[in-house]
Amino acid sequence: MLRAIFSGDDMPIYNAPLQDMRFLLNDVFQADQFWQSNEQLAHVDMATVDAVLEEMAKFSAGVLLPLNRSGDEEGAKIEGTVVTTPTGFKEAFKLYAEGGWVGLGAAEEWGGQGMPKMVTMLAEEMIFAVNPSFTLYPLLSVGACLAISAYASQEQKETYLPRIYSGEWSGTMCLTEPHAGTDLGIIKTKAIPNGDGSFAISGTKIFITGGEHDLTSNHIHLVLAKTPDAPEGSKGISLFIVPKFNVNADGSLGERNAVAAGSIEHKMGIKASATCVMNFDGAKGFLVGKENEGLAAMFVMMNYERLSMGLQGLGASEIAFQNAAVYAHDRIQGRSATGTKSPEKAADPIIHHPDVRRMLLNGKVNNEAGRCFAMYVARQLDLSKYGTAEQQKAAADRVALLTPVAKAFLTDRALNATLDAQLVFGGHGYIREWGMEQYVRDVRIAQIYEGTNGIQSLDLMGRKIVRNGGASVVPYLAEIRDAMSKLGAEHDFLKTAMEKAVSRVEAITRTVIERSKTNPDEVNAACVDYLHAFGLMSYGYMFVLLLNAAAGKSGEFYANKTTLAKFFVARVLPELYARADAIEGGAESLMAFDAAYFA
């Protein structure tokens, strides 16, 4: 829905794309049928989910959106070791917690609502769209809870999960150290046994989202550290719970633990999110799971966050598109090449210029295909948890394959789409008051944290494909081809394009696997281009699913799915072949220079 052009003094708009969300749930993935056929999900139905989505749409636009710009301008602040969030954040978090949103996907055993991932991902997209800085606070709490739920003792679960899911306490993820980013095997944080079952945790962690703030009464840090006799490398990492305030036997808060924020980072974006340097000085910590098996526990949290970063990108792309579309309808400049459209005005609205349409449609493709892809991955996550034994195994394999794509491809495309939306505004897009430059700054981090997108690409190409000789890709390509076979004759344009795309991805997969046998550099040299080719093919698959679901339905909403798919085939999908050509160019030109050339 459009509105009159906003001025620099007005707030950007956001209308949650509920019709598209319902279409995905009801028609594309037939979620209600899955829920009602599963005993563990029988409490979930579309009427309930509709109410959840409506309420989140209201909360996002009414509570969180008004705090986005002011939060960016005020930022998180630190005095000594005390961190405060911007004005309004504490009150908004209280409302968020009281609404049960932190525990939306949590088991009822821990006070949650037990909603499946296909629902919680849509809620995440909405809050990421309107206020990514705010969203990161509860997001880290949910991730911490997932790790605790999967690996902690029953006593630890009972102590921490209800209080974190209620919003009384919060959780963090403490991995990165000043000298150790992705390579966690070289961390220096130590865990020395105290002799009473606890450990003294000492070390410094950086880039800790929500490491200290004023939103909750306690912070539960999940910290990677090494015990004295731990093996070298990643096999010697253990995971520890380190509370800000120690917890008494009755669950009340005890004395302050020896952990504190040393500083907060001064960042390009997400300024209202407190990104802390955390110092642990013999802080009391408690082992989670088994010693030296902490990385597996932490990956539960990291994988959750990786998909969430994709949703952050999707949210930014959606709100940027919506505001650029409004602007394009109201901003007049030049006359249409095909004749005057608004003779009563001095010029025509820029929406009539093809290049403006190109930028807007790039965003629209990303929003619709990206949301469908995120929903597809969410469905696999639900199947891996609630499906039959056979479904769980197949879905877990598919999630492992697609998680790096969900993180990296969605965020790469989102930055591009957000930049296009900013450019629709011309010079106004560069000015703070219009809001667009904040979206660009805020979404940039999504390509960096939880492993840069280059690392995600290497994970896909190296660990998920080359390592198993491409076996993980075979069933995915077969599934795509099966869905393509169901397209009606009116969608032959998509079927023909996808047959070519799938075959090309299949070919470059074999090429990299074969070349890597004699030159290990081929994997790293190809990985980013491969992930993008793979992602473009996957977006094409999403359009296959969208058009199959829309087939036989009348109305502009459904007809527009076909029209958008035609734009994708004509103007977006061809990038796949440029990426494939680059892969076939090999590693030689990248590695031909001596390292001194870059000095």
Q: Which of 405, 401, 399 is nearest to 378 (CA)?
A: 399
Question: Is 422 within the bounds of a domain?
Answer: no
Question: Is 446 within the bounds of a domain?
Answer: no
Question: Within this chain, do residues 209 and 288 fall inside the same structural domain, yes or no?
Answer: yes
What's the CATH code of the domain at 181? 2.40.110.20
Question: Within this chain, do residues 133 and 181 fall inside the same structural domain, yes or no?
Answer: no
Positions marked catalytic: 450
Q: What is the pTM of this model?
A: 0.96
Question: Within this chain, do residues 144 and 180 fall inside the same structural domain, yes or no?
Answer: no
What's the CATH code of the domain at 112? 1.10.540.10
pLDDT given at position 181: 67
Q: Which of 476, 461, 414 is nearest to 128 (CA)?
A: 414
Question: Is 88 within the bounds of a domain?
Answer: yes
Question: pLDDT tens string for the chain (599 positions)?
Answer: 333 344 445 779 999 999 999 999 999 999 999 999 999 999 999 999 999 999 999 999 999 999 999 999 999 999 999 999 999 999 999 999 999 999 999 999 999 999 999 999 999 999 999 999 999 999 999 999 999 999 999 999 999 999 999 999 999 999 999 987 677 778 999 999 999 999 999 999 999 999 999 999 999 999 999 999 999 988 999 999 999 999 999 999 999 999 999 999 999 999 999 999 999 999 999 999 999 999 888 888 778 788 899 999 999 999 999 999 999 999 999 999 999 999 999 999 999 999 999 999 999 999 999 999 999 999 999 999 999 999 999 999 999 999 999 999 999 999 999 999 999 999 999 999 999 999 999 999 999 998 899 999 999 999 999 999 999 999 999 999 999 999 999 999 999 999 999 999 999 999 999 999 999 999 999 999 999 999 999 999 999 999 999 999 999 999 999 999 999 999 999 999 999 999 999 999 999 999 999 99
The residue from 272, 299, 326 where one domain ends is: 299
In angstroms, how far is CA 482 from the centroid of its own chain?
A: 28
SS3 169: strand
Cβ atoms of residues 538 and 409 within 8 Å: yes
Q: Which of 259, 238, 236, 227 is nearest to 186 (CA)?
A: 236
Question: Is 420 within the bounds of a domain?
Answer: no
Cβ atoms of residues 590 and 526 within 8 Å: no
CA within 13 Å, CB half, 564: 24
Cβ atoms of residues 408 and 311 within 8 Å: no
Backbone angles phi, psi at 429, to 5 degrees: -65, -20
Q: How many helices (H) and strands (E) does the chain have?
A: 19, 11
pLDDT given at position 201: 98
CB-count burial class (<10 Å; 0-12, 13-18, 19+) for 596? exposed
| Distance from C-alpha of 476 to C-alpha of 374, rounded to nearest angstrom | 16
Question: Is 242 within the bounds of a domain?
Answer: yes
Question: Within this chain, do residues 135 and 85 fall inside the same structural domain, yes or no?
Answer: yes
Question: Is 220 within the bounds of a domain?
Answer: yes
Question: Is 203 within the bounds of a domain?
Answer: yes
Question: Within this chain, do residues 254 and 191 fall inside the same structural domain, yes or no?
Answer: yes
CA within 13 Å, CB half, 330: 13
In angstroms, how far is CA 47 from the centroid of its own chain?
A: 26
Question: Within this chain, do residues 113 and 198 fall inside the same structural domain, yes or no?
Answer: no
| Distance from C-alpha of 104 to C-alpha of 545, rounded to nearest angstrom | 27
DSSP for 43-97, written as a single string: T--HHHHHHHHHHHHHHIIIIITHHHHHHHHH--EEETTEEEPPTTHHHHHHHHH
Question: Within this chain, do residues 22 and 146 fall inside the same structural domain, yes or no?
Answer: yes
CB-count burial class (<10 Å; 0-12, 13-18, 19+) for 41? buried
| Distance from C-alpha of 494 to C-alpha of 568, rounded to nearest angstrom | 9
Rg of the chain over Cα atoms, rounded to whole angstroms, equals 24
- What is residue 252's DSSP assignment? -
SS3 152: coil
User: Helical H runs in 387-491?
Assistant: 389-424, 436-444, 453-458, 473-484
Q: How many domains does the chain have?
A: 3
Question: Within this chain, do residues 241 and 135 fall inside the same structural domain, yes or no?
Answer: no
Question: Is 395 within the bounds of a domain?
Answer: no
DSSP for 473-536, written as a single string: HHHHHHHHHHHHTT--GGGHHHHHHHHHHHHHHHHHHHHHHHHHTT-THHHHHHHHHHHHHHHH
Residues of the domain holding 505: 452-590
Question: Within this chain, do residues 114 and 189 fall inside the same structural domain, yes or no?
Answer: no
Question: Within this chain, do residues 149 and 180 fall inside the same structural domain, yes or no?
Answer: no
| Distance from C-alpha of 140 to C-alpha of 309, rounded to nearest angstrom | 12
Question: Within this chain, do residues 272 and 197 fall inside the same structural domain, yes or no?
Answer: yes
The residue from 130, 154, 178 where one domain ends is: 154
The residue from 299, 331, 351 where one domain ends is: 299
Question: Within this chain, do residues 140 and 236 fall inside the same structural domain, yes or no?
Answer: no
